[in-house]
Amino acid sequence: MIMRFSILAMLVITACSRASMVEPVAPTPGPVLEMNFNGQKGMRTLTVRGEPFTFGWVSSRATSCEMVTPVRSGLSLVGHSASISPDHNFYPAKGKPVTFTIFCKDGEAVVRDSVLAYKGS
Domains of the chain, residue spans: 32-119
Which of these, 90, 68, 64, lies nearest to 76 by C-alpha position? 64
Query: Which class in CATH covers the domain with range 32-119?
Result: mainly beta
pLDDT the model gives residue 121: 83
pLDDT the model gives residue 8: 45
**pTM summary value:** 0.77
What are phi and psi for residue 6, nearest 5 degrees?
A: -65, -40
13-69, pLDDT tens digit by residue? Answer: 554 555 556 677 777 789 999 999 999 999 999 999 999 999 999 999 999 999 999
38 Rama sector, left if φ>0, alpha if ψ -120 to 50, beta otherwise: left
